[in-house]
Amino acid sequence: MHAEMAEGSVQNGYRKEDGLLWQGRLLCVPHGCRRSIFESVHSTTHTGVKKSLRAIRSHFTWPGITVDVAKWAEQCDVCQRNKTRTAVAPQVPMPMPLPQEKWLDVGMDFAFVTPSNATDPKQSAFKIPSKSGPDSFFVYVDYTTRYTVAVPMRSMDTAEDIYDILFSQIWTRYGQPCRIVSDRDGRFLSKWWQNRLKSLGIKIAKSSP
């Protein structure tokens, strides 16, 4: 469907904007990005299938999303270990800390489209342009509400480019955070990135490998 639709057109409830396919307000995620979207949302709390699915479906959609989320949640090592500990030695529930103000504690990651899946019409909801346009997503998650923002980007984007995305498309709308959790991508380990966030008073934390 995506290949046949012209830019700005609407067909069967889908619309195409900037090379991306939307169903209403939901972004249709290509096959190569789906697991990364799930992990970015699920890894914040490991809340199981229903809550992870609800959080993801509030912003994204794709064919077979329920089956995929259930399968990946069952494969989650942290969730399986928690189930084992609960079954062997139940513990008295501890009260969860009161949530802080939203958008102060956030996580970010990348969701890349694999070339093989992105070009296979049977595996992908749409094809992201790879030559001059975006070929992946910058994923930004608020840990308090689990609200997720996905911004199209290029995999070759530099630390400066990512900062521009944060400043112009995310912070201007949701505000600047106090702490950012990210993986050990070289761009996040660069001196430029570290010094830039430090100058803004933002704490930097690294997620588990």
For residue 206 the two structure tokens come to: 């690294």
Q: Which residue type occupies 74?
A: E
Give the model's pLDDT for residue 98: 47
Q: Is the pLDDT of residue 117 over 90?
A: no
Give the model's pLDDT for residue 160: 95
Q: What is the dihedral of CA 63, 22, 149, 98, to 10 degrees?
A: -70
Give the model's pLDDT for residue 84: 54
User: For 172-192, what is each residue's pLDDT tens digit?
Assistant: 999 999 999 998 889 999 999
Q: Which residue type occupies 44?
A: T
Give the model's pLDDT for residue 94: 53
Closest CA to 60 of 153, 147, 173: 147
Evaluated on CA atoms 144, 149, 155, 157, the torsion sign reads negative
Fold for the domain defined by 105-114+127-206:
Nucleotidyltransferase; domain 5 (3.30.420)
Q: Is the pLDDT of residue 120 over 50?
A: no
pLDDT band for 126, please (50, 70, 90 cuts).
very low
Mean pLDDT across the chain: 78
Q: Three-state SS across the chain?
A: CCCCCCCCCEECCEEEECCEEEECCEEECCHHHHHHHHHHHHCCCCCCHHHHHHHHHCCEECCCHHHHHHHHHHCCHHHHHHHHHHHHCCCCCCCCCCCCCCCCEEEEEEEECCHHHHCCCCCCCCCCCCCCCCCEEEEEEECCCCCEEEEEECCCCCHHHHHHHHHHHHHHHHCCCCEEEECCCHHHHCHHHHHHHHHCCCEEEECCC
pLDDT band for 92, please (50, 70, 90 cuts).
low
C-alpha 68 chain-centroid distance: 15
Stated pTM of the model: 0.56
pLDDT (mean) for 64-79: 85
pLDDT (mean) for 35-47: 78
Stretch among 77-91, 150-164, 167-181, 194-208 having the lowest mean pLDDT: 77-91
pLDDT (mean) for 87-113: 68
User: For 2-26, what is each residue's pLDDT tens digit?
Assistant: 556 666 667 777 888 877 888 888 8
Q: Is the pLDDT of residue 141 over 80?
A: yes
Q: Is the pLDDT of residue 129 over 90?
A: no
Q: At what angle do helices 77-88 and 65-74 cross, to 10 degrees?
A: 60
pLDDT band for 114, please (50, 70, 90 cuts).
low
- Between CA 182 and CA 205 the distance in angstroms is 7
Give the model's pLDDT for residue 76: 82
Residue 205 β-bridge partners: 181
Higher pLDDT, 7 or 49: 49
Q: Which residue type occupies 171?
A: W
| Domain ranges across the chain | 105-114+127-206
pLDDT band for 131, please (50, 70, 90 cuts).
low
